[in-house]
Structures are given as structure tokens and as C-alpha cells.
Chains A and B, each alone.
Chain A
Amino acid sequence: MSKTKIEIKNLYKIFGPKDKSYVKAVKDGLTKQKLLDDHNHVLGLDDINLSIPEKKIQVIMGLSGSGKSTLIRHVNRLIEPTSGELFVDGENVLSMSQNQLREFRRKSTSMVFQKFALLPHKTVSQNVAYGLTIQGVKESIAKERSHRWIDRVGLSGFEERYPAQLSGGMQQRVGLARALATDAPILLMDEAFSALDPLIRTDMQNILLELQEELHKTILFITHDLDEALRIGDNIAILRDGRVVQEGDPQEIIMKPADAYIRDFIKDINRSKVIELRSIMNKKVKGSGKGLKLDMTIDEALPILNTSKNNSFSVVDNNNKVLGSVNLDSAINALAKDSTNDVAERYK
């Protein structure tokens, strides 16, 4: 378990003119609906507790209105909480003065936005250098560094273009480069890829994962798209009505959904492409035959399992140590576990 980078404790956010006065009532069980109906205040976040590990991708997932964008804006205090605590590297973000906060935003966090939010009157190069410019970094250094990042996201040759001259996908690459250019250890991504079409989105996810392999940033990634969450998240927290309904690694969420809401959420995903052998292996029995890797998906394993229907195959970690076994039945059972699943229908 790696070190905790961002610690959120008992965070509440109520929108409305008399927000503070309702915190106690909400803590005592006043519901979101009642707060809205009787007092005309909106409960944005309801008792959020999250420990976000360093150098991992933490995904916050939820439908619109679930409070995910509100939550991410608390980390750099673009939104002030109504009550609660927030620590980054053990430092209390909420007690920072305006100057400290500005310094914190410049050095410790950077952000990528759903609608890109590029400066339309500045070139790609100036946009990427923006964070450095406002820190007072010398122009020549800022330019050199920004060009390195432009190159890194695959936009060389577009340095002197304006954002309006670029496609959506390219604009978001600029947004990503701008966020990376300040070398801040925390990257906040607010539905960063949601506005892009599916192919470009996959492309951007690949770029992000590739960059993460060498940069090891603490990434807080907001999305409403489960496939995206499963693909890039080391850890997923699912938000509903401002409350975390389940938190854990992707396999855990698929295999043990906490409630009907999440079951409903995950019912349309292609289980075979998500579930990995480590989630379905039998740890008590060592198998025989060819060793299959822990993080192999069922989809990848099925053809191999099918070659020898009654045999158990051993499951091994990266050091080829045998940890358990799988066979065709266990794979099919895993797919069929959710009876609403089409895949399950087919295997009946």
C-alpha cells in the first residue's frame, strides 16, 4: 500500500446562502431531497471520506449531479467546503491563506478540464507555458519546457497555432500538456476525455497511461464512463447523490458490487474483457498446465482454457510464482454471475 497523498475527511458541501446552518441537520440524517424541498438548499457532497494514494490513478465515478466535479474542485479549493477537512501531504489545504493557496495551486496541483478551457487568444505554446508564466519562470525557459511537453503529447509543429485551429482531441492534448508543464505532483482531471469521441478518447487514455508509467503522478480522474474508469483506474470510488457508495479496486467493484445501484451501473460492461484471472482463481488448488498471468482477462484466457476443458490451469504472478488455478467452468461462472448479463444468457 503506497503512501496517502490526499486525505479527505468528513467533507460536506451544501449549496445555498445559509449552507453552514444545515450541516448539523444533514449529519443527523436530513436527506438531500428534504433539504431541497423544505429549505431550498442543495446537498452537493455528503460526508466524503477518501484516502487517495500517492502515484496512483484514483477514479471518481458517478452520473451527472452526483457531485464528482464538485468533489475534485475541493482538492485545489476552487470550491470551498461547507464543513470537513482536506489534507495534501499532511498539510491542511483549508487553512491556507490566499497567498499560500495560490502557491499551492501553482506548485502542487494542476488541472485538465472537460471543456478544455484553453486561452483562445494565446498560441498552443503560450497555453502550455501558461502555468509557468504566471509563476514568473523566464520566458525562454518556459518556452523550452512547454515545447518539450507539446512534443510529448504529439503536437510538434502546432506550437504557433491557436486553439480554434485544432480539433477537440488536439485541444485536450494541449490541456494535458499545460497541466503537465508545471511538474505538479497532483493532476486533477475533470471529465477530461468526456467531450471527445470514442476513438480519440481511447487514444487519450493511452497517452495518459503511457505518461503515467514514467511520471508517477497522483491523478484524480473524474468520469461518468465506467469503461474508462475500469481501464485507467487503479482505484475507483463511485459517487451517488454526493455520497461515496463504493470504493475499491476495479476488480472488487465488478465482482462484489455493494448495492443494486452499482449492480445496475456495471450490468452493461463486457465482463470478459474486464475481469482478470486473479479475481476468479481458486487459491486452494494449484493447477497444472501452462501458467496464466494474474492480470489476464477472461476474454484472453478463454481460448486457452478451452483447449483442455476439464483441466485446471495454474495462475502465476509476474515472477511465475503459482498462486492458484482456474478452469473453464470458473471462467464461465464469473461471466454468468450477473444474470442480467447477455453473456450469461448465451452460456446457459
Chain B
Amino acid sequence: MDFWTEIPSLGRSDLRDLKKGIDASFKSFSRKYGADIEAFFDPLYFFLVKLEKILIAAPWPIILIIVAGLAYLGSRSWKLAFGSVLSFVIIGYFGMWKDMMATISLISVATIICIAIGIPIGILMSRYDRVQAAITPVLDLMQTIPIFVYLLPVVMLLGIGRVPGLIAVIVYALPPIIRLTNLGIRLVDKDVLEAADAFGSDYRQKLFSVQIPLALPNIFAGVNQTIMMALAMVVIASMIGVKGLGMPVLQSIQNQYLTLGLMNGLAIVALAIIFDRVSQRYGKRLQAHRYGKEHE
């Protein structure tokens, strides 16, 4: 009768041994190779720290000029450039300048790495159906697995600090750029590809002069999503010691500092809006030809 009421299960002690065994072997693995793996990520650490130091050390007016310049170049809108500068000034005025610089450097590095890894993987997926079939479930996993579950092994291997935080952000923010690169290339008009074939293009010529340019709006939507997801991870990353706007939010949750939480939270929102609007406008300009407008 037990069969109907109790689901067959591994005995309690067996289960405990299994967990213990895996934990122990992972621990010994991390003890043995942890240092090597950390060393492997050292360049990343230096890059991140360097960028953060430069951003913090730079005189604030120069940062504002750069922000205005980038916002204008991306969006071609003075309004947006002015709004960005204004947000930065307000954030600085309320004492969050350094944290903001730390967050921006984290987001920038994470985005650059996501682009560098994600676009080539997306291209491979678009070219080979098998690669797509193999990678899609991995992406699904990356997007659905609770963040804390993969934070744990990362922390065990690398300890707490910027690099594990960065890796956590990258794992979370990588899937959209891969997916949208793959999708964008696959959606390129078959007629145009056939024309490229008919004129004797080889794979590289087709990829660089037809597929990627025509997929750019989608690829750019992926970059935009990646930035947004990286920003969303800022608070969680602070739990494993990443400095920036997330840290005070975490503190305020633990200590019920309402105003501190609100201010830093709003600063993150402001950054998100600026990044989003500028990158979206830029993405739109990339497809100006579709609406029959001249390139600027």
C-alpha cells in the first residue's frame, strides 16, 4: 500500500551522502583550482578596477561632457543629452557620484564582454542548426535558474568581490544578445541572401556585407536588453561584494533606511532610462534606410 502514498525516494542517508559527496568534491576542486581560476580572471579584475578608478578620478565636468557627447551621438537628440546630464548632476548632488561611477564601470565591462561573447555565439547558432539546438536549452537554463543557485558556486570558487559579481551579471545578461543575434540573422530576407549567392558571395562576404548589417537592428535590441538586465542585477551583485549603487540599496533593506534605498533605487532607474533611450534611438537610426530616410 505504501507504494500509492509514498513516492519512491532515495533513502535519507543515501541522499545525505550524495549531497555531501558532491559538496566535498566541489570544495576540494575549488580549493585545488580556485587560485588558478582566480588568476585566469585577473585581467578582468584589473580592467574593471582600472575603469572604475579612471571614472572616479576624472573631474566631474569632464564626465558630464562625455555623457552629453555620447548621449547626443547615440540619439541625435539634444533633449536626451540634456536630460542625461541633468540626471547625473542630481545623482551627484545627492552624494551618489562614486557609487554611480562604480556601477557604470561594472555595466560597461559586463556589456562589452557580453557583446564579445554573445555575438559570435549568436552567429554560430544562426549558421548551424545543431549549435542552435545545443545552445538554446543552455540559454533557457541561464534565464530561468534562480540567481542565487549559481551565485553560490561562483562565490565558492572565486570568493566575494567584483569579479564573481561581474560573472554573475554576465551570466544573467548574456542570453538576450545571443538570442537576438541568432534571430536577427535568421530573419534576414531570403531573397536578398539568394541574390548575394547568385552573385557569387562566399560565406564571409554574405555574413559581413548582408547578414550582420541587416540583422543590426535586432542585434542592437539584444544589446539594449543586455544592458537593462545587467542593471537589474546591480543590487543582487552587491550581495557578493560588488560596489556601486546596489550596495546602499542592500544596506537599506537590511536596516530599513527608506530614503537611502529610494534615492539609490531611483538613481539606478535613471541610469536604466538613459541607457535604454540612447541605445534604442541608436538602434532605430541603424535602420533609417528602411523608412527611406537618408543616413545622417
Contacts and interface: CB of A to CB of B under 8 A. Distances in A.
B23 to A, nearest CB: 49
B7 interface: no
Contact of A113 (B191, B205, B291): B191
Interface string A163-205: 1110000000000001000100000100000000000000000
Interface in B184-199: 189, 191-192, 194-199
A284 interface: no
A121 B191 CA distance: 14
A130 B196 CA distance: 9
A105 interface: yes
B290 A117 contact: no
Interface string A89-109: 000000000000011111101
A131 interface: yes
Interface string B193-220: 0111111111001000110011000000
Given A119-B210, A120-B290, A134 B191 contact: no
Contacts of A178: 199
B204 to A, nearest CB: 10
A121 B199 contact: no
B79 interface: no
Interface in A74-92: 76, 78
B289 interface: yes
Nearest to B201: A134
B61 interface: no
Contact of B198 (A111, A120, A121): A111
B191 A117 contact: yes
Contacts of B189: 117
B199 A105 contact: yes
A119 to B, nearest CB: 6
B198 A78 contact: yes
A163 B195 CA distance: 15
B292 interface: yes
Interface in A227-241: none
B198 A110 contact: yes
A134 B209 CA distance: 9
Contact of B290 (A115, A133, A164): A164
Contacts of B294: 162
B214 A121 contact: yes
A139 B20 CA distance: 67
A134 B198 CA distance: 11
Given A134-B199, A134-B205, A121 B289 contact: yes
A111 B210 contact: no
Interface residues of A, number: 30
B214 A113 contact: no
A107 B214 CA distance: 26
A135 interface: yes
Contact of A76 (B192, B198, B210): B198
A164 B26 CA distance: 58
Contacts of A163: 289
Nearest to B189: A117
A293 B194 CA distance: 45
Contacts of B200: 102-107, 131, 134-135
Given A102-B202, A117-B192, A78 B210 contact: no
A131 B199 contact: yes
A86 B248 CA distance: 74
Nearest to A99: B202
Contacts of B213: 121
Given A117-B192, A119-B210, A78 B197 contact: yes
Given A113-B191, A113-B194, A115-B191, A120 B214 contact: yes
A102 to B, nearest CB: 5
Nearest to B286: A121
Contacts of B196: 119, 130, 134
Contacts of A104: 200
A131 B199 CA distance: 6
Interface in B276-292: 289-292
B289 A105 contact: no
Contacts of A162: 289, 292, 294
Given A115-B191, A119-B192, A106 B290 contact: no
Given A134-B205, A162-B292, A78 B199 contact: no
- A-B pairs, 10 with minimum CB distance: A106-B200, A105-B200, A117-B195, A164-B292, A111-B198, A117-B191, A165-B292, A162-B289, A131-B199, A102-B200
Interface of A: 76, 78, 102-107, 109-111, 113, 115, 117-121, 130-131, 133-135, 162-165, 178, 182, 188
30 contacts: A78-B194, A78-B198, A102-B202, A105-B200, A109-B198, A113-B194, A117-B194, A119-B195, A119-B196, A120-B214, A120-B289, A120-B290, A121-B213, A130-B196, A131-B199, A131-B200, A134-B196, A134-B201, A134-B202, A134-B205, A134-B209, A162-B292, A163-B289, A164-B289, A164-B290, A164-B292, A165-B292, A178-B199, A182-B199, A188-B198
Given A113-B195, A117-B189, A120-B214, 6 more contacts: A78-B197, A111-B198, A113-B194, A119-B210, A131-B199, A134-B201
